[in-house]
Every structure is written in C-alpha cells, then in structure tokens.
Amino acid sequence: MKKYLSIIFYVLLFNSIYSQCDDSILLLTMEDSWGDGWNGNTFCINAECTTLLSGTIGTHEFCIDLSVENMITCGGGSWQSEVFWTLSDSYGTTLAAGGAPFEGCVGGSCENEITESFEFNDNGQLRDYYLYRPNSIQDNAPLVFVLHGYSGSANGMITYSAMNAVAAEHGFAVCYPQGISDQSGYNFWNVGYAFHQYQTVDDVGFLSSLADYLQNEYGFDSQNTFVTGFSNGGDMSYMLACQANDVFRSIAPVAGSMMETIYNTCDSSPVPVLEIHGRNDNVTLWDGDMQNNAGWGAYFGTQDGIDFWVDTNSCMSSENIFLPNTNTSDGSYVINHRYFDCSDDAEVWLYEVVGGGHDWPGSSGNMDIEASEEIWNFFSQFTSTLGDINGDGIINILDVVFLVNVILDSEYIQSGDLNSDGSIDVLDIVSMINIILGGR
C-alpha cells in the first residue's frame, strides 16, 4: 500500500501579529497521516530547513521577502514521489507547486521558474491547468502538454513525469491540464470509454483552445506545440493527433492506445508518433481488447495502432534498435522500433519495454530510460521555424518556390500552412513573403 504525504504551503501577508517578519510569512503545514515509521522529508526555504518525521503533524513558519529570490528545496523520504505541495498567497492564488524531490525558487526574478496554477474559461466551463515556464525559456519557445491518466491529476503528473527538469534544460514550456470528474468522481479525458457513453465534455476542443490561448498569451510557438500523456492521457494524445493535428505537431503516448472509435474516424494527415509501452502492461494491454472484456471499450493492440500511423505517414523503412540495458535489476529492457523515410518526415517510433508494465519509465518500472527525456528528444527532431518550408535552416525565396510546388501538386504539409487555416494556398504565399520581408 502506498504511503501518501500531504504537504500544504500557505503564504500570508505580514501584519502586526507577526512582528518577527519584516516582509511576508510562509506557514509550512506538514502532515504524515500514515505514521508508520517511514523516513521523513526535508524542506528548506533558503538556508532554513525543517524535516517531516513520520507520524507527525506540525506547522513551521518562515519569514520571506517575495520581492527577492527564495530558494525552495524538497527531498528525501522513502515515498518522495508521492509528495505534492502548493505555495499560495493570502488570496488563495497559487504561486508555486511541485513534489519531492524539488529544487526551485519563488519571488523576485525567478517568478517564471515556478509551476503556476490557472483557470481557463472553456465556453463557460472553468477548467484548471498548471503552467511551467523555466528561466531558460526564450521567445517563441516550444510548448509541451502533459496529460494525466484516468483518476489521476494534473499536479500528480508534475511529479510523476518529471518533465519540468527536462523543460528547464532545453528551454520549453510545459502545460499540465486537469480533466474533469466523471460520474464516479474520477478525473478523465473523454476518449469514448464504454462507461462514459453519456459524458459530453469536448476535451479536444478544450485542449485545442487552451493551446491557442497559451500561444497568444505567452508567445509560445504554434508550429512547435506537442502533447504526451499517460494511459488515458495517452489515449487522448492519439485522439488529438486524429482530430487536432493542426494544433499539436507531434504526440508521444505512454501506455496509451487507439480506441476503436478514434481509429475508425481518424484524419489521415501525417503526424510524428512515439509510443512507449510495456509489453506486460496489465491495464492498457499490449494486444489490445477488441472484445471489450475489461469494460473500457474496444481498443486496438499496440502494434496495430503503430501500424496505422506507419501507413498514414507512408513510412518506407524501419529498424530495430536495442537501447542500453543500464539497469539490470528492473527486469526489463527497451527496443526502439523506428519507422522512417515517411511523408513530411513524420517518423513513427515504438519503444517496446520488454518485461515492462503500466509505467512511466524513469519514474516507475523500467529505469534504463527517462521517458520525459526520450519524449523531448523525439519532439525536438520535429521542431520547425515558421517559414522554413524546405528545412534548410534559412527562410528565403527557395521556401516560396517550395511552397508553390506544394500547392501545384495539391499536397498538404503542416509546415506550409502558415496561416493555420487547414489549407495551403495563395494566402500562405502572402504570409511567406511577409515573413521574408520582416512583416511578421
């Protein structure tokens, strides 16, 4: 049985009753409700630290100045991956969030280093999401969506995926959206599970609208917006590839599957795909469940789903790459089944985790790879510069010629749809000329 630690941070504005603080006071309330003798966790604000011992409940005060940098570290403990914390101001606004292990800062010049909590008005329905923007981020940065699994949560995926560390290293933003609760009270993405037949939420619309909003609000790159997800979030990634491939350039499901309804109605546009899947997954079965024996609804086997994208992307070549088995104690190893020479260079990769289960490698199960690192390595191969249609790294008249030939051949390539209207025509040529002339 898992041992959960619940950790809540509250920031209250300084007033007269806290005379020992010159600025603001941070109250750290810690609770280990299990009290079973497991090791505690150590939390530090700047150089002042406290340790949560098992079976203890307590509040610790830290005086901080939010106008300057305040370093927060959180780590140790036997069940550190189960820890989640939030830092809120006196109005209830979340300033920072994370889990253990964690190292970051809040206040002052490092405000963009925190994972912020927001609400998004989706056609009158308020939806929650977290956004992480590392200090290393540049203008027009890529954006990666990370989707939780069925009954999971957005804040849980912050810790489980460890995607923030990858984002900080490579300079992209991460969005963790929250699914709504179904009739059983479990968070979900509406991909058409059999027991969700009466659910009407349009998650494709929500995630597409949220991506558009974030691109406009923060200047994230609309040509380099990607999505990954675990389990139900992986299923949702496939749905987005089929129904919103004008928004999400590439997908990387982990332990995901293609539901039969998604498969049968999928748009045929090429999309780069990386699937990471345990051969012994006992939730999202490797061989699928077309008879709906488990009650989720009919879904295709892992290889069948990959074959669909290999055909859709017209991949002509393939190879099998055995990744280094660096951790021989995890009972598994990874084979990359790579399909390449594809239309629009939309490669398809299948990381078969032989002996692996229903896991996010690097966080649980297989420890030979860090799934989030592998996902970004895959996505980064398909980042593009708006206007560089021929992929030579330069935007010039040759891109106009290339675009004209695409139009004459009645082809569609995502990088050529410069105005994102779903078609490639003379308006895209006008957009290209404006880019060259510096009009964008």
pLDDT of residue 9: 42
Most confident of the ranges 28-37, 69-78, 89-98, 113-122:
113-122
Q: How confident is the model at residue 397 (pLDDT cuts 50, 70, 90)?
A: confident
pLDDT of residue 404: 86
d(C-alpha 2, C-alpha 244), whole Å: 37
Mean pLDDT within 338-355: 96
Cβ–Cβ under 8 Å, residues 288 and 301: yes
Alpha helices in 270-325 (DSSP H): 302-312
Q: What is the pLDDT of residues 156-204, one digit of tens each?
A: 898 889 999 999 999 999 999 999 999 999 999 999 999 999 999 999 9
Give residue limits of the domains in the chain: 6-106, 114-380, 397-437
Q: What three-state secondary structure class fits 234? A: helix
Mean pLDDT of the chain: 82
d(C-alpha 312, C-alpha 147), whole Å: 24
Residue whose tokens read 């099998």 = 320
The distance in angstroms from the start CA to the end CA of the chain is 56
Cβ–Cβ under 8 Å, residues 303 and 258: no
Q: What three-state secondary structure class fits 384? A: coil
pLDDT at residue 424 above 80?
A: yes
Q: Cα torsion at 251, 252, 258, 264 (round to 10°)?
A: 20
**Dihedral over Cα of 272, 278, 281, 285: its sign:** positive
Cβ–Cβ under 8 Å, residues 220 and 173: yes
Residue whose tokens read 């935007």 = 395
Residue whose tokens read 């021989």 = 328
Mean pLDDT within 115-136: 88
Q: Cα 316 from chain centroid?
A: 29
* DSSP structural state of residue 58: E
- Match domain 114-380 to its CATH number in 3.30.70.20, 3.10.580.10, 3.40.50.1820, 3.30.499.10: 3.40.50.1820
Mean pLDDT within 99-111: 66
Give the lowest-confidence range in 44-48, 151-155, 219-223, 335-339: 44-48
240's CB contacts (< 8 A; 6+ apart) are: 204, 207, 208, 227, 247, 248, 251
Q: How confident is the model at residue 61 (pLDDT cuts 50, 70, 90)?
A: low
pLDDT of residue 408: 84
Tokens coding 35: 């009290």
pLDDT of residue 90: 54
Instruction: Give 100 or 265, the one with higher predicted confidence.
Output: 265
pLDDT of residue 372: 97
Mean pLDDT within 203-221: 95
Tokens coding 403: 């675009």
Mean pLDDT within 287-292: 96
Q: How confident is the model at residue 62 (pLDDT cuts 50, 70, 90)?
A: low
pLDDT of residue 40: 56
278's CB contacts (< 8 A; 6+ apart) are: 255, 286, 332, 353, 355, 356, 357, 358, 359, 365, 366
